[in-house]
């Protein structure tokens, strides 16, 4: 490309009028798409495409040295739509990914264009203010007291790591941040055997090793009993580990079970441990008067994470790491970066980079703050109730059917179940569920996932899409029966 062509391309690329036209055309296209997805006129949730085939198809179209120009935008993005999973389709019942409020997506467009990172105040003044207001509102709503505070970060995995780094700094009895892991007793955390894998990953990143994650056994209802906490602590002692934190799940990923936070809090207090709650999915339950009792004990937490991209209809990622004492939020990354930050970290709450791993940081609070402005906090509490109620109805439908069984009564909007056509032997159940799930994926008619519980492979749904009707759930059951019959016929 010669200089003249470059100049011309640049002019076109930044021309406000071009942007206006592209944005109008794109929002028109996306509004049509939403209409098709929401009304189920899109005939699949996910186009069946094998990963290598998709890769090879795109590999045939090498990245051009001279682009196709502005006109290529819509045809190209239309193709992207076709190959994407459609989370607004009522038949999307898979992982804990929301059907985002469209207006939140518009806020993301604005965030991207403004590109106000938030690590440094000047680079994102309002993002830092909105983040602080959101975190304080969440902490106070959870009952964590007047000194609550924290920081927004990119996702629950990062949030859990951030909180556990604070826990180690405050409770391990050694300054690992500055002095390293040398000369300390090997450290450990305790967490339920149902915890999300990111907790163990965080612990390993922190150098605790496999032995530094002491799993607390859960019972058949996926609950922690106080004796199991004692047993895990004894196990830590046997391994010569110094436990500095105990982590509670609210709720668990696999089955949506809220752990006994009160028992965990009491244990943490008795042994002077940090009490962290992984509320990535379930923290917004506090917004529902009907269900907030499930979080009893959370008010004793030293830290908790709250993902708004799960139960608050936000696009990814918007995570709050909330501390009982906002001063603890400065513990995880207390390293000086003189070219960015100058004073006493605590006096400079407005540089969120002091308290997160991110340096360049996405302007993530805008969408949540805006949506709360538009719809109010009560709207989000009602959303929780709507989803939990529908999941309870789905459980009732499954239990009433002679050929379905649920793993455990759902406490949230996550449900695990199995199809058991009459006469199916126990030893054939896993194969049958695996077959059903892979056939569902092949057809693209629904999107659900599978998980392995101690009793075997289960089908797993998360009811996060408020556009789903009970009739869709009946249709899903019928479809599963059809796919199950296929397998039985094949075996005969």
Ligand X SMILES: Cc1ncc(COP(=O)(O)O)c(C=O)c1O
- The answer to whether 156 contacts ligand X (rule: CB under 6 A) is yes
| 326 binds ligand X, rule: CB under 6 A | no
Strand 414-419 to 456-462 pairing? antiparallel
For residue 163, the tally of other CB atoms under 10 A from its CB is: 32
230: tokens are 């004692």
| Closer residue to ligand X, CB minimum distance, 159 or 345 | 159
Select the residue interacting with ligand X from 89, 171, 196, 458 (CB under 6 A).
Answer: 196
Residue in 94, 131, 155, 315 binding ligand X, rule: CB under 6 A = 155
Residue tagged 């409770």 (tokens): 171
Q: Closer CB to ligand X, residue 158 or residue 354?
A: 158
When the beta carbons of 45 and 199 are compared against ligand X, the nearer one is 199
Q: Is 461 helix (H, G, I), strand (E, B) or coil?
A: strand
- State how far the Cα of 417 lies from the Cα of 405, in Å rounded to an integer: 6
157 contributes a contact to ligand X by CB under 6 A: yes
CB of 455 to ligand X, least distance (A): 21
What is the distance between the alpha carbons of residues 128 and 355, in angstroms, rounded to a whole number? 12
Residue 346 to residue 156: CA distance in whole angstroms:
24
The single residue among 111, 128, 153, 253 that binds ligand X, judged by CB under 6 A, is 253
Give min distance, CB of 418 to ligand X, in A.
21
Residue number, 161 or 188, with CB nearest to ligand X: 161
What length is written for the chain?
Answer: 492
The residue among 251 and 432 lying less far from ligand X, judged by its C-beta, is: 251
* Least separation in angstroms between CB 140 and ligand X: 22
Choose one: 120-128, 274-282, 352-360, 373-381; the region binding ligand X (CB under 6 A): 274-282
Name which of 150 and 156 has its Cβ closer to ligand X: 156
**Contact stretch for ligand X (CB under 6 A) within 154-162, 163-171, 395-403, 462-470:** 154-162
- State the residue number with the nearest CB to ligand X: 156
Q: In what order do the strands lie in the sheet with 404-406?
A: 404-406, 414-419, 456-462, 449-453
Residues in contact with ligand X, counted by CB under 6 A, come to a total of 13
- Nearest C-alpha neighbor of 435 from the set 403, 481, 471, 401: 481
Q: How far apart are the first and last CA of the chain?
A: 65
How far apart (Å, rounded) are the C-alpha atoms in residues 385 and 412? 9
Binding residue for ligand X, selected from 86, 87, 92, 96, defined by CB under 6 A:
96
Q: What is the rounded CA–CA span in Å between residue 390 and residue 409?
A: 13
Radius of gyration of the chain (CA): 24
Identify the burial level of 443 via C-beta atoms within 10 angstroms of its C-beta, where 0-12 means exposed, 13-18 middle and 19 or more buried. Answer: middle
Cβ 213 to ligand X, closest distance in Å? 15
To the nearest whole angstrom, how small is the minimum distance from the Cβ of residue 281 to ligand X? Answer: 5
Q: Which one of residues 302, 307, 328, 472 is an interface residue with ligand X (CB under 6 A)? A: 307
Nearest approach in angstroms of CB 346 to ligand X is 27
Dist CA 7 CA 10 (whole Å):
5
- Residue 243, number of CB atoms within 10 A of its CB: 23
Which ranges in 60-155 belong to alpha helices (H)?
Answer: 73-82, 102-114, 125-141
Residue 415 interacts with ligand X (CB under 6 A)?
A: no
Q: 275 vs 80, 174, 243, 257, CA distance in Å?
A: 43, 18, 11, 18
Q: What's the half-sphere exposure (Cβ side, CA atoms, 13 Å) at 3? A: 0
Closest CB to ligand X among 152 and 198?
198
d(CA 245, CA 131): 26
The CA distances from residue 14 to 6, 7, 11, 108, 249, in Å, are 12, 11, 6, 19, 47
d(Cα 420, Cα 398) in Å, to the nearest integer?
11
- Applying CB under 6 A, the span of 236-244, 264-272, 278-286, 381-389 interacting with ligand X comes to 278-286
Instruction: Name the minimum Å distance from CB 353 to ligand X.
Output: 19
Nearer to ligand X, 155 or 410 (CB): 155
Return phi, psi of residue 360, to 5°: -70, 130
- Looking at the Cβ atoms of 212 and 315, the one nearer to ligand X is 315
Complex with ligand X: residue 248 or 345, whichever CB lies closer: 248
Pick 236 or 318: Cβ nearer ligand X: 318
Decide if residue 198 touches ligand X (CB under 6 A): yes
Is 87 or 198 the residue whose CB approaches ligand X more closely?
198
Contact letters for ligand X, residues 114-153 (x by CB under 6 A):
----------------------------------------
In the list 280, 301, 312, 459, the residue contacting ligand X (rule: CB under 6 A) is 280
Query: In this chain, which of 136, 200, 259, 278 binds ligand X, going by CB under 6 A?
Result: 278
Contacts of ligand X in 218-237 (CB under 6 A): none
| Residue ranges binding ligand X (CB under 6 A) | 96, 155-157, 196, 198, 253, 278, 280-281, 307, 317, 319
């Amino acid at each position: 490309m010669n200089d003249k062509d470059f100049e011309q391309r640049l002019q076109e690329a930044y021309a406000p009028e071009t942007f206006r036209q592209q944005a109008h055309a794109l929002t028109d296209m996306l509004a049509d798409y939403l209409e098709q997805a929401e009304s189920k006129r899109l005939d699949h949730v996910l186009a069946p495409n094998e990963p290598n085939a998709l890769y090879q198809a795109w590999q045939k179209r090498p990245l051009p040295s001279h682009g196709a120009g502005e006109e290529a935008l819509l045809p190209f993005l239309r193709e992207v739509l076709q190959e994407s999973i459609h989370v607004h389709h009522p038949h999307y019942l898979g992982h804990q990914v929301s059907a985002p409020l469209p207006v939140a997506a518009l806020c993301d467009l604005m965030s991207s264009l403004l590109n106000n990172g938030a690590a440094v105040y000047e680079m994102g003044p309002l993002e830092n203010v909105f983040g602080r207001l959101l975190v304080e509102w969440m902490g106070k709503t959870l009952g964590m007291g007047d000194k609550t505070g924290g920081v927004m970060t990119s996702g629950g995995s990062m949030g859990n790591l951030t909180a556990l780094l604070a826990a180690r700094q405050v409770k391990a009895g050694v300054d690992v941040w500055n002095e390293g892991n040398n000369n300390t007793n090997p450290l450990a955390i305790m967490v339920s055997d149902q915890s999300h894998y990111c907790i163990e990953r965080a612990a390993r990143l922190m150098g605790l090793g496999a032995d530094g994650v002491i799993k607390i056994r859960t019972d058949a209802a996926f609950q922690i009993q106080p004796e199991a906490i004692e047993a895990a602590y004894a196990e830590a002692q046997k391994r010569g580990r110094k436990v500095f934190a105990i982590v509670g799940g609210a709720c668990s990923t696999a089955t949506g079970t809220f752990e006994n936070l009160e028992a965990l809090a009491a244990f943490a207090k008795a042994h002077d441990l940090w009490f962290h709650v992984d509320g990535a999915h379930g923290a917004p339950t506090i917004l529902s008067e009907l269900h907030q009792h499930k979080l009893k004990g959370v008010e004793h937490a030293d830290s908790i994470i709250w993902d708004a991209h799960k139960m608050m209809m936000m696009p990814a990622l918007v995570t709050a790491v909330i501390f009982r004492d906002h001063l603890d939020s400065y513990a995880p990354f207390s390293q000086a970066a003189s070219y960015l930050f100058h004073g006493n970290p605590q006096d400079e709450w407005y540089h969120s980079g002091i308290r997160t791993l991110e340096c360049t940081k996405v302007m993530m609070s805008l969408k949540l703050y805006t949506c709360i402005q538009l719809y109010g906090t009560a709207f989000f509490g009602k959303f929780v109730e709507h989803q939990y109620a529908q999941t309870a109805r789905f459980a009732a439908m499954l239990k009433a059917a002679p050929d379905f069984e649920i793993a455990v009564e759902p406490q949230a909007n996550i449900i695990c179940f199995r199809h058991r056509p009459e006469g199916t032997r126990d030893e054939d159940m896993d194969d049958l569920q695996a077959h059903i799930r892979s056939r569902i994926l092949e057809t693209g008619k629904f999107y659900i996932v599978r998980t392995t519980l101690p009793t075997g492979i289960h089908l797993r749904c998360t009811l996060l899409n408020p556009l789903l009707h009970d009739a869709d759930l009946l249709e899903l059951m019928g479809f599963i029966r059809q796919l199950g019959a296929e397998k039985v016929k094949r075996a005969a």
